[in-house]
Structure 1
Amino acid sequence: MHVFIKLFLTACVAITTVTALASEVITSHGIAMHGDMKYPSDYTHFEYTNPDAPKGGSVVLAAYGTFDSFNPDVIKGDPAAYMELTYDTLMVQAMDEPFTVYGHVAEKVEYPEDRSWIIFHINPKAKFHDGQPITAEDVVFTFKRLMEDGQPFYRAYYADVVNVEALDSQRVKFTARDDKNRELPLVLGQLKVLPKHYWEPRDFSQASLDIPLGSGPYRIKSFDTGKSIELERVKDYWAADLPSHRGMYNFDNIKVEYYRDQTVMLEAFKGGRYDYREEKQSKRWATEYEGPKFASGDIIKLEVTHQNPTGMQAFVMNTRRDLFKDARVREALDLAFDFEWTNKQLFYGAYNRTESYFSNSDLASTGLPSEGELKLLEPFRDDLPAEVFTKPYVSPKTNGSGNNRKNIRAAINLLKEAGWRFEGTDLVNAETGKPFQFEILLYSKDFERIVLPYVKNLKKLGIEANARIVDSTNYIRIVRDFEYDMIIGGFGQSNSPGNEQRDYWFSKFADHKGSRNYIGVQDPVVDVLIDAIIRSQTRADLIAACRALDRVLLWNHYVVPQWHINKHRIAYWDKFEHPEITPIYGDVGFFSWWLTPVKTSGQQ
């Protein structure tokens, strides 16, 4: 460790006051997952912000669906959008580094080289909106309340914490199970802080429309249940001049209007009802972002390339259902999806087929397993599909003509091997005689045009699949309770995967309602590989563990992979200015934008 610090100092890479005494304790203004921090202790702002951005004005945004709660941390209710703007976190993640966090509510941290514990030093200036200071007791209270009553995600994310204690009013210490979870101090830095004095007499486990007491740059000003919510910038916001927030959150008011129809939502944008949107559908982007306002430049249409891992979006099979327990069945359903035709006919060729759970990153498996991957996989060779070791994963391909006969024949053979046979044109179970039928659950009509051609191809296999659209509130409930056959789901990834992988794939969470183990994965090999990811000590270790997990998930055919794109597609009314530098990770950084007074003064 002494050599490590000496090199840092020699290179003039300041990481605040770094102390390496006999106890080997580091004191710093931030933590990097691997390697060095970009910003020194005396940094004034992130490069993708403008510290001189003017404050003021109002913006209108849009959200799809509805809401009935201001508590996004529990499984009950449909939470309102942008609630994260009302709370501060211990530290703030930089969006131009793979995974580094810098001080915010905690102005500095102490931790040993092995990261087996961490002490957060609370900034004496930090306060809630009622003026009461944020203390170590608030942090302890928050952690315990989230672990007891919060979303299952928290119990997965922070599973390796064995103790949390307030050392005094300004210092809180978290102790880890061991010294293997290198990421844990960083994800603890993402913890938002709830006010103990507000929540202690209330039932945190329930959905509620009581306006909560926050600490962030915005507070809730007013709302119309399920229809709109208005946030106002906190004028005496305690962190406004911290380098972690300087140049951010420049709008005085943010109003969020809710829509239940995507077509109506887009037309409202073009009519000036709201100011900014990010488009997710390629057909709309290619055909509907046009007209006089686009031609005149009143509305700006822009594609912004990013370096975010795009994860896995897919038709997700619920393996808790007997119908999907056999991997051969799941592979057959993958063969029935004609991506090439879909991309050409429905997406205007905008997408790439996803062939990894870590797509668009160096964490995605390629070729055959490396030496590092084999070291992890070899002990389980007899428990894994042989292809994990012998073949690179490649999604089924077609010529895009719509005639995927070859893949259909291969799918039928797999289904027969799995104990299915034809009765006329219907596929039935050879033992029970029950037909192969299932439902694809949707919450938006937008996906019907994608699902219906897939349903048609499934019919060629003798499979009766039906798409059912429900409203967003019921969709959330059904998914939380795992009461579906198939959904269109996503597993987002970062450049530094870690503790969240438990919530996605860990056996313990397969039957834990509200977890993101939508598939119902219960595989001891996957559990071991998740542990290897979390315990990775170097970037090379992390890459090997992620690629090994990727192969195991892919060759078990848990999902029918869909598509991805490495661009943000945004459109906005020409009333904004933004920093010259756009963050390469995360979103486009909309909350670092500001309104142009000359342009907004006479508009709408």
Structure 2
Amino acid sequence: MIRLLLPMLMAMASGAAMAAEPADVPTRHALALFGDPALDEGFQHFPHANPDAPVGGSLSRAANGSSFNSTNPYIIQGTPAAGLSHTYDTLLTQNPDEPFTMYGLLASGIRLDPNRQWVEFDLHPKAHFHDGTPVTAEDVVFSFNTLVEQGRPFYGAYYAGVEDVYVADEDTVHFDLADSESRELPLILGQMPVLPAHYWQDRDFTDPTRDALLGSGPYRIVSVDPGRRIVYERVEDYWGKDLPVNRGRHNIGRLIYDYYRDASVAMEAFKAGNLDLRIGATASNWATGYDFPAANQGFVKRLEIPDGQPAGMQAYVMNLRRDKFQNIQLREALNLAFNFEWLNKNLFYGAYERTHSYFANSQMAAAGLPSDDELALLEPHRDALPERVFDTPLPMERPQDPRARLKLAHEKLTTAGYRYQDGQLLKPGGEPLHIEVLLYDTRFERVVQPLLQNLERLGIQGNIRVVDVNQYLNRLRNFDFDIIVGSFPQSASPGNEQREYWGSNYADVPRSRNLIGLQSPVIDDLVEKLVAADTRSELDTAARALDRVLRWGFYVIPQWHLPATRLAFWDKLAWKEPFPQYSLDLDAWWIDPQRAREVEARQSGG
């Protein structure tokens, strides 16, 4: 059933603001979270895109993980292949040079109720899937219902504020918004991939598949070698190639993702010219791994591109579903045992900054004591929060000397009722305390070992368990771990995704991103305050209050970040500068034909 029951009349009767009629609302070309879009309706292309870029060539890169077994990235089951987003268009697309502004893609026009009680999208009349079937409003409704009801938990959290979705006419889809306080909800609805209803009518959406699924985007799947390689080909008759948001983008003819079980093997493949691009690198590899002939002769280049997005939080994540981690003093002691300074000096060549905040590298990171505006959000929860939230400045002070930190950790453990016997730390119940760190990448073992050595000095038994990526994902899906290395990426405009990161409703939902297992009414309330923020100032304040509470909970052991993206590549790639401020847009890069010929001659020994 396409249309759902509307409680709009009840909302009006209870005194809610009157929603405007769609006919009375102007149609826009873009939506900005705050203020107005930077680009007017007549813009020709994104500033960082080159409309005259040559088209063609190929780009090979190593995929994350050791294998894949599915081409459906939207479901719980299976390990999806890399790059699948290239095949699907969304209603809107983001300008990476603005904090959060969405411009029309599948949608040629947008109408947003002034009271944010509904949003409508007019579909572009030329939009069609790769089989030539037009994209209709029914496809959008099908996509929304399918993703929310059968997709990963993320979609239920992300679109939780949608009350109703229906076809207004063949080319217009209408969303009623129960959560009218969420400024970002109309924009994130625009991020929804649109699936072809006719293609899925006789297929089970929840079953993993290796088929070349039907999309409407700039690329299509042309080759699937399960677990080893997936290849995408540029769609020559792509319906949207001349839209302003696409002009000068999606220039490369073939995108190839190769899978390597070992990162060192992938590095050797890059050196040999079997891979064209590497994104990210360990500090040691970045510092010492590029002394080889092709790099020394100038055929391989490296860039560090500044990142305007918050660094987010990469950390050792403790699983609160395990009783041993319910003790906050144990969690704080584990934080004290982590020696970032030693790692950065001895393993990372001094390349990283220590992460303290869940919104590091942004104005949303909490600092000092709570401001008056933060206190207004925190005071109602004073009885449920540690006093340190209110009277101790951030970042929290810790002894510089690692031995002093371990001594402090020891004091906190003994105060919490832990005791020592024969060199082992015993829990208050008398059992030895044991902690396991679950990994799927052997490269991280050398980073974890120093932490385990410090835990051993505290009498804590620890070990590393390395499993293959599929077993790792299965264990992650079921929250079967003590500690993992996890991450909580953040954007310049955080919103609904915070519900899935920290919300009580997602603590026990398989494959949710609430890795910690948080179930806190205080955090739930602060997340809702963040989602409902009506101004940039309110958003920053709510983020700082949330950040402060999370940090004083010691739920993770923060690791490190680099406020830039590292890229190494064979010198056949080209781009236009300046780079966009808020995210890297490789879709705007292209293959330089002359340099590609020179590189290929070098690779073949010519």
Contact 1:340–1:398 (CA under 8 A) maintained in structure 2: no
Superposed, which structure 2 residues align to 1:420-431 within 5 Å?
420-431=418-429
Which amino acid is the alignment partner of residue 227 of structure 1?
R
Residue 491 of structure 1 aligns with an amino acid whose one-letter code is F
> Counterparts of 1:135 and 1:327 in 2: how far apart (Å)?
52
- 1:427 and 1:463 in contact (8 A); partners too: yes
Structure 2 CA distance for aligned equivalents of residues 68 and 393 of structure 1: 44
The residue number in structure 2 matching 1:5 is: none
Structure 1 Cα separation of the partners of residues 477 and 403 of structure 2: 37
- Whether 1:580 and 2:597 are equivalent positions in the alignment is no
Identity %: 49
- How far 1:78 moved relative to its partner? 0.5
- The letter of the residue matching 2:542 is A
| AA partner of residue 591 (structure 2) | L
Distance in 1 separating the partners of 2:404 and 2:369: 26
Report the counterpart of residue 351 of structure 1 in structure 2: 352
In structure 1, give the amino acid aligned to 2:551.
Answer: L
- Displacement after TM superposition at 1:560 (Å): 0.5
| Preserved contact between residue 355 and residue 393 of structure 1 (Cα < 8 Å) | no
Q: Find the residue that maps to 2:59 and give its secondary structure.
A: strand
1:464 aligns with 2:451: no
| CA deviation map 1:468-507 (0-9, x unaligned) | 1111111111111100000000000000000000110000
Q: Distance in 2 between matches of 1:285 and 1:183?
A: 37
Whole-Å separation in 2 of the counterparts to 1:236 and 1:476: 37
Alignment partner, residue 408 of structure 2: 410
Q: Is the 8 A contact 1:319 1:325 kept in 2?
A: yes
With the length of structure 1 as denominator, give the TM-score of the two structures: 0.94
How far is the alpha carbon of 1:419 from its aligned partner?
2.0
Q: Is the 8 A contact 2:367 2:395 kept in 1?
A: no
1:92 and 2:89 correspond: no
Q: Report the 3-state secondary structure (helix = DSSP H, G, I; strand = E; otherwise coil) of the residue aligned with 1:167.
A: strand
The aligned counterpart of 2:395 is 394
Give the letter aligned to residue 40 of structure 1: D
RMSD over aligned Cα atoms: 1.4
SS in 2 for 1:331: helix
> Which residue type is aligned with residue 139 of structure 1?
V
Deviation at 1:24, TM superposition (A): 6.5
Equivalent AA in structure 1 for residue 62 of structure 2: A
2:526 to 529, 546, 559: 529
Shift of the 394–231 alpha-carbon distance from structure 1 to 2, 3 Å rule, reads same
Deviations 1:322-347 (A, max 9, x none): 01001111000000001111111111
Of 481-490 and 590-599, deviating more is: 590-599
Cα drift, residue 394 of structure 1:
2.5
TM-superposed deviation, 1:258: 0.7
Once residues 260 and 48 of structure 1 are traced to their aligned partners in structure 2, the CA distance between those partners, rounded to angstroms, is 35
CA deviation map 1:86-116 (0-9, x unaligned): 0000000010000000001001100112222
In the superposition, the TM-score normalised over structure 2's length comes to 0.94
Whether the 8 Å CA contact 1:166–1:172 is kept in 2: the answer is: yes
Q: Is the 8 A contact 1:498 1:534 kept in 2?
A: yes
Could you tell me whether the CA contact under 8 Å between 1:338 and 1:397 is conserved in 2?
no
Among candidates 554, 562, 568, match of residue 557 of structure 1: 554
Q: In the alignment, what sits opposite 1:601? A: 597
Q: Secondary structure at the match of 2:395?
A: coil
The answer to whether the 8 Å contact 1:77/1:207 transfers is yes
Distance apart, 1:148 and its partner CA: 0.6
Match of 1:3 in 2: none
Match of 1:54 in 2: 54
Q: Secondary structure at the match of 1:381?
A: helix
- Structure 2: gaps (5+ residues): 1-19
Give the match for residue 476 of structure 2: 479
Structure 1: distance between partners of 2:107 and 2:485: 39
Secondary structure at the counterpart of residue 313 of structure 1: strand
Among candidates 482, 487, 500, match of residue 490 of structure 1: 487
Displacement after TM superposition at 1:23 (Å)? 8.1
- What residue number does 1:319 align with? 320
CA distance in 1, matches of 2:119, 2:22: 17
Q: State the Cα deviation string for residues 393-452 of structure 1 (Å, max 9, x = none).
A: 3356565xxx61111111111112222100110001232x21100210011111111100
* Bigger mean CA offset, 47-56 vs 410-419: 410-419
Distance in 1 separating the partners of 2:412 and 2:385 = 18
| Contact 1:49 1:581 (8 Å CA) reproduced | no
CA distance in 2, matches of 1:283, 1:502: 36
Structure 1: where are the runs of 5+ without partners?
Answer: 1-19
Match of 1:14 in 2: none
Give the distance between the partners of 1:520 and 1:178, measured in 2 at CA. Answer: 25
Superposed, 1:184-263 pairs within 5 Å as: 184-263=185-264
CA distance in 1, matches of 2:24, 2:170: 25
**Greater shift after overlay, 271-280 or 68-77?**
271-280
